[in-house]
Amino acid sequence: MKKEKYKEDLESIRDIMVRSSRFISLSGWSGVSAGIVALAGAFGAYQTVYTNQNYLGFRSADLAPESLWTLLMLAIVTLGLSLGLGIYFTTRAAKKQGQNIWDHQTKRLLTALAIPLVAGGLLCCILLSKGFVGLVAPLTLVFYGLALVNASKYTLTEVKSLGLIEIVLGLMATYYIGFGLLFWSIGFGVVHIIYGIMMEVKYRS
């Protein structure tokens, strides 16, 4: 009995230490919802901008103002929906686990995410304004992957693996430049859905 109680006490201490050092309330459903939104955004971009166009290359292309604004609006809507759904599902998971959603670990996590994301987002906006549309999809994957790897030390270890996958897909999308939107759909869409389902099964079941 004493030995079993000793093990239970150790597990309790370990659980407290993990909760105090890492943000562990990430919801698998936030990944699934982000993936679905990304696939919808990619389909919209393909239908409204890329159809019968030769934009997906290394060379600069002259984008019409209408096409540029369509791309920007699609990006804003996709990002906004993904963030909104992610916050909703993560907040719900945190409440179920009795964890405070806004503490010093959350701030450290968001800071680690924000630096690569903001730098990458500004770079992509500059490239988009100059007509280098083909590089936007690969670079968003690379910078997003770097952000996940950078933030993984403050949250679940699986986030690092997800980040590495996104970086590899971004590099592949750069090499196969004409298929950038396809790789973007796989990285932000399919991979997120698979990752979200895996996390939900592993941590919530």
> pLDDT tens for residues 119-142?
998 998 888 888 787 888 899 999
pLDDT of residue 168: 97
The span from the CA of 76 to the CA of 115, in Å, is: 19
* pLDDT at residue number 7: 53
Euclidean distance between CA atoms 47 and 20, whole angstroms = 46
The whole-angstrom separation of Cα 145 and Cα 162 is: 7
- pLDDT tens by residue, 65-117: 676 777 778 878 887 887 787 777 777 776 776 666 666 777 888 888 889 99
Q: Considering just the CA atoms, what is the radius of gyration of the chain in Å?
A: 19
Confidence of residue 26 (pLDDT cuts 50, 70, 90): low
Arithmetic mean of pLDDT over the chain: 77
pLDDT of 170 > 90? The answer is yes
Please tell me the distance from the alpha carbon of residue 205 to that of residue 198, in angstroms, as a whole number: 10
| Listed residue (166, 132, 139, 133) closest to 152, CA to CA | 166
Identify the pLDDT of residue 143. 93
Per-residue three-class SS string for 134-172: HHHHHHHHHHHHHHHHHHHHHECCHHHHHHHHHHHHHHH
Is this prediction's pTM over 0.85?
no
